[in-house]
Amino acid sequence: MSATKIRTSSFSRNFLAANSHQIPGLKHGPNGTMFISSGIPDLDKILGGGFSLGSLVMVMEDAEAPHHMLLLRSFMSQGLVHNQPLLYASPSKEPRQFLGTLPSPAVPKDDKSSHRDPDEEKGLRIAWQYKKYFGENQQSVDRDGKHEFCNEFDLRKPLERKFLSGKCIDCVSIQDSPNLITLHDRCATFLSQFPRSDGSISSVGRIAIQSFCAPQCEYTDMEWDMLSFLRSLRAMVRSSNAVAVVTFPPSLLLPSFSIRWQHMADTLLSVKAIPDEDKEMEKLLTGYQDMVGLLNVHKVAQINTQVPVILEATTYSMKLKRRRFMVLECLNQAPIDGSSGSSYGTSGSCSVSSKTGALDF
C-alpha cells in the first residue's frame, strides 16, 4: 500500500521559521517577513512592524543638527539589549567611545512595583505572602509584545555596562582608510555569522555605519567605489539574517549620486532640523515649541511582496517626551484663531458663520 502524500500549498505556514519566536527582538510579519525593532516604538508602528530582516536602511542626515544620531543610538541600544551582535563603523578615531553615549532602556511601570523595599513589603499583611510567586521568576516571564520587542530608551541615562561587557561588538574606524576594502571585508566577515540557509534563525546581527561619506574619510572622492560598496552591502545583507543602517549627508554628494544612493536603500528616511524662531511654522502647526525636528519616510522595504506600503503620513514631528524619550507624531494643523479650539476643517457647523447655535444649512 502506497503512502499517502499530504497536499501542501504556497499558503502553508513555514513551521521552520516558527522557532524564531524564541529569539528576543524578533517578530513575524506578513508574507514571511521578519522584523527587528528600530529602538523607537513609534517608528516601528509607522514602518508596519520595524526594520525588515535582510534590508538596508539609509538615513539622510541634516547638516544643521545631528538628529540622525537619535535614530542610530536607539537602533544600536536595542540590539545590545536583545543580545544581538553589532558592527559599528564611524569616521572617528575611537569609535568604541561612542558606545558610552548609548541610551539605557527605561524601566516599565509594571516592574517598579517589584523593586520595593523589604520593609514596605512586610507592611502588606496579605500581599507579602505571595512574594515567592512574583520574585525574579516573574521578570523572566514574557511581557507584552510591545515591551519585549521594543524598549523605550531614556536619552539622559547611559547604557549599563552589563549590556556592553561580554557582547559581540565590533567597532571599525573608517577615518584613515584609503579605500573601502577593509570595511567591506569586515562587513562580509560579520555577516557570515548569520547565513540565511534554512528556515530556522539562530541569531540576528546589526550593522550601523555613521556618516558614510564624511569629509574626514579619505575615500570621499571615490563616488563609484562608495556606490559599489552600498550595492554589495545590500546584496550581503539580503542573503543574511541581519539589518544594516547607514547614515550619510546628501549635501556632500553630487545630486546624481545622491539619487543613486537613495535607490539603493530598502527603507529610506531623512531628518531635518526645525528653526528656533519660525513664526509662520509656529502658527501653522500645534505643539511646534516641543518639536526638535522632522522625520520624513521616503521609502519602506517591501520584502516578499510587490504591494506598496500605504502610510498614514510621510512627515512626522520628532519630540522629546519629558526631555527623555523619543516620540514621533503626525503633524497637526493649528487652529485659525490661535486658540485651543478645534483645528481647521474639523468644525461641526455647515455654515461659514462662527456663531454657536443650531446648524445653519
**In the predicted model, is pLDDT for residue 135 greater than 60?**
no
**In the predicted model, is pLDDT for residue 218 greater than 60?**
yes
What is the DSSP pairing of strand 291-299 with strand 315-321? Answer: antiparallel
Most confident of 26-35, 214-223, 252-261: 252-261
Give the pLDDT mean for 168-175: 91
For the stretch 266-306, pLDDT in tens is: 999 999 988 777 767 777 777 777 888 899 999 999 888 88
pLDDT tier, 15 (very low <50, low <70, confident <90, very high otherwise): very low
Tell me what percent of the residues of the chain surpass a pLDDT of 90.
43
**In the predicted model, is pLDDT for residue 166 greater than 80?**
no
Q: How many residues does this entry show for the chain?
A: 361
Would you tell me the crossing angle of helices 255-264 and 223-238 to the nearest 10 degrees? 10
> For 119-133, b where at least 16 C-beta lie within 10 A, e where not — what string?
eeeeeeeeeeeeeee
Q: Roughly how many angstroms between the first and final C-alpha of the chain, as a whole number?
A: 80
pLDDT at 322: 82
Question: Is 111 in contact with 104 (CB distance < 8 Å)?
Answer: no
What is the DSSP track for 203-238? --EEEEE--TT-TTSTTTT-HHHHHHHHHHHHHHHH
pLDDT at 238: 94
pLDDT at 305: 83
**What's the mean pLDDT when you consider all of the chain?**
79
pLDDT tier, 22 (very low <50, low <70, confident <90, very high otherwise): low
DSSP 3-state of 270: strand
CATH architecture of residue range(s) 26-105+147-330: 3-Layer(aba) Sandwich (3.40)
**In the predicted model, is pLDDT for residue 85 greater than 60?**
yes
Give the pLDDT mean for 84-105: 92
Cell of 307: 504591494
Q: Amino acid letter at 158? A: P
DSSP 3-state of 318: strand
Q: What is the pTM of this model?
A: 0.77
Those residues whose C-beta lies under 8 Å from the C-beta of residue 118, and which sit 6 or more positions away, are none
Of the listed ranges 185-189, 190-194, 341-345, 355-359, the one predicted with least confidence: 341-345
Cell of 279: 513664526
- pLDDT top residue among 135 and 187: 187
pLDDT at 337: 54
pLDDT tier, 111 (very low <50, low <70, confident <90, very high otherwise): low
